[in-house]
Amino acid sequence: MTDVHILVVEDESAVRELLTATLEGAGFQVTSVPDAHKARDLFSHFIPGLLLLDWMLPGMSGIELAKWLRKDERFSGVPIIMLTAKDEENAKVQGLEGGVDDYVTKPFSTRELLARIKAVLRRVGSDDSKVIKTRAGLEIDLAQHRVMAHNQTLQLGPTEFKLLHFFMTHPDRVYSRAQLLDLVWGSHVFIEERTVDVHIRRLRKALEPEGMDPLVQTVRGVGYRFSEQPG
């Protein structure tokens, strides 16, 4: 199981479904959309760990989306793998200029696709080899499933651990309860939104002994945010 969330942008529904099934089967979290505009909308509240982007899309092309992402420093670190047709050599050149990290040529084998994804993630250091992440004085160790603050281990349940990890990798943004359910619990899980409140409460309680509970902020009428800036 990996904690990397992949955004798939592909207009052909059969290919999109195949990609989703393949990636989920390999343990990734997957969100898929049929066009670049929908992908761009998603980026306003969610930054994926990797973008798997079709070159030929209706409306805004894959390369236009890649260039748009690279211009914004919030998104410039998201690795991009482009899907191209066999004879689109031109696409590769343009893509390299647009900041694309790698290519997979259609039709592709599952094995090749997964190998490329893993190689790119390794290169940007966001695969499982980078197991310790720090933010706001907190250190989260994904391999040992442990959270430290001021050299103290915090006592967190598995859901609070996932929630904190999500917050630490997506700081300073407000997420609604529905978005948190989708992004932390997974879109296939049916849970009531108030369950989120329960786990937020537990997470704050776990952070409290180190005085770090103010990091988890309630944004009234909207949802929650993880931030070092006072709410």
Binding stretches for Ca ion (CB under 5 A): 11, 54, 56
Distance of alpha carbon 215 from alpha carbon 204, whole angstroms:
8
Burial track 174-213 (b if 16+ CB lie within 10 A, e otherwise): ebbbebbbbbbbeeeeeeeeeebeebbebbbebbeebebe
**In angstroms, what is the minimal distance from the CB of 83 to Ca ion?**
8
Nearer to Ca ion, 43 or 55 (CB): 55
Nearer to Ca ion, 28 or 55 (CB): 55
Residue 33, number of CB atoms within 10 A of its CB: 18
Nearer to Ca ion, 36 or 216 (CB): 36
Residues whose CB is less than 8 angstroms from the CB of residue 68 and which lie 6 or more positions away in sequence, other chains included? 40
Closest-CB residue for Ca ion?
A: 56
How many residues does the structure list for the chain? 231
**In angstroms, what is the minimal distance from the CB of 93 to Ca ion?**
19
**In angstroms, what is the minimal distance from the CB of 78 to Ca ion?**
20
Instruction: Judge contact between 223 and 177, C-beta under 8 A.
Output: yes
CA-CA-CA-CA torsion for 221, 226, 230, 231, nearest 10 degrees?
0
Which H or E element spans position 18? helix 13-25
Nearer to Ca ion, 11 or 102 (CB): 11
**In angstroms, what is the minimal distance from the CB of 43 to Ca ion?**
20
Nearer to Ca ion, 54 or 101 (CB): 54
**In angstroms, what is the minimal distance from the CB of 180 to Ca ion?**
31
**In angstroms, what is the minimal distance from the CB of 148 to Ca ion?**
45
Identify the three-state secondary structure at position 113: helix
Nearer to Ca ion, 11 or 213 (CB): 11
